[in-house]
């Protein structure tokens, strides 16, 4: 079976939780939610997953489905304890991100008179300061990958981030193992070139001499995605090729 770009992205998101063990997988975005649930169904069975709200599910559920067997409740106070204790690995989104992983979800433009008002910092400061954080960005472009963010919502490697892991986009996978903990290109998705990623990034990106292709999902992973987790193909609405 041939995987779509969206399915490669889901698998790349899932890989962010590999080796995490029994932590709460918190995801924001269709492909990242699917990635967390796919990871638990395959190579990371100890992950804790939710119904998207305050219920811990005994097993991953399809997108939009009601939770069946429930392992327990997750009231806000307990959720915050997991954040503070580093027992949660969140995959957030970002309207802007710089080479050190500082992110902006608050406002675009000058703070005194912004062009666009966004969500506000919300939980980004605590997430990035207290627990492992990755990012899922469905549109890799110079508007998102910028030299300097307009407002720091989530902190980067130069501002005391606890553990920035991965950035998964519709073009490839990146991490922060470049010089002085800056962003490095880890892999490009099938059909994408290194030059495309560099052109879509608004800062000097660390590019190793050999950049591999992102792995494609196995037949079993594709079956789980297509027949169980996302039979309605919502993943393909989030990633356009």
What number is the average pLDDT over the span 75-104? Answer: 92
- The mean per-residue pLDDT over the stretch 45-53 comes to 90
pLDDT level of residue 55 (50, 70, 90 thresholds): confident
Can you give 136-157 as a three-state secondary structure string? EECCCCCCCECCCCCCCCECCC
What pLDDT band is residue 218 in, cutting at 50, 70 and 90? very high
What percent of the chain shows pLDDT beyond 90?
Answer: 79
Enclosing domain of residue 203: 5-238
What CATH number corresponds to the domain at position 160? 3.40.1080.10
Task: Inform me whether the pLDDT recorded for 73 exceeds 90.
Answer: no
What's the CA gap between 218 and 221, in Å, rounded? Answer: 5
The alpha-carbon radius of gyration of the chain (Å, integer) is: 17
Please report which confidence band the pLDDT of residue 16 belongs to, taking 50, 70 and 90 as the band edges: very high
94 pLDDT above the threshold of 80: yes
Q: For residue 184, what pLDDT is reported?
A: 98
Residue 3: what pLDDT?
A: 95
Averaged pLDDT of the chain:
94
- pTM of the complete model: 0.95
pLDDT at 1 over 80: no
Question: What total number of domains does the chain contain?
Answer: 1
- The reported pLDDT for the residue numbered 71 is 83
Q: How many residues does the chain have?
A: 241
Highest mean pLDDT (candidates 10-14, 55-59, 65-69): 10-14
pLDDT in tens, 140-165: 999 999 999 999 999 999 999 999 99
Q: Is-contact 61 70, C-beta < 8 A? A: no
């Amino acid at each position: 079976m041939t995987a779509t770009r969206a399915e490669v992205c889901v698998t790349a998101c899932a890989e962010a939780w590999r080796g995490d063990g029994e932590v709460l997988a918190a995801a924001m975005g269709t492909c990242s939610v699917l990635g967390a649930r796919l990871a638990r169904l395959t190579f990371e069975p100890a992950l804790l997953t939710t119904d998207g709200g305050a219920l811990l599910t005994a097993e991953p559920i399809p997108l939009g489905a009601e939770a069946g067997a429930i392992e327990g409740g997750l009231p806000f106070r307990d959720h915050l304890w997991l954040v503070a204790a580093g027992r949660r690995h969140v995959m957030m989104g970002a309207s802007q991100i710089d080479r050190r992983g500082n992110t902006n979800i608050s406002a675009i433009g000058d703070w005194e008179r912004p062009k666009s008002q966004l969500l506000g910092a919300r939980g980004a400061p605590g997430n990035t300061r207290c627990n492992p954080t990755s990012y899922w960005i469905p549109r890799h472009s110079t508007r998102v990958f910028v030299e300097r963010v307009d407002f720091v919502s989530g902190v980067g490697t130069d501002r005391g981030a606890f553990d920035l892991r991965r950035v998964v986009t519709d073009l490839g996978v990146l991490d922060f193992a470049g010089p002085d903990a800056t962003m490095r290109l880890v892999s490009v998705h099938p059909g994408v070139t290194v030059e495309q990623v560099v052109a879509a990034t608004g800062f000097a990106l660390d590019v190793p001499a050999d950049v591999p292709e992102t792995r494609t999902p196995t037949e079993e992973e594709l079956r789980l995605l297509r027949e169980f987790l996302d039979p309605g193909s919502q993943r393909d609405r989030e990633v356009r090729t």
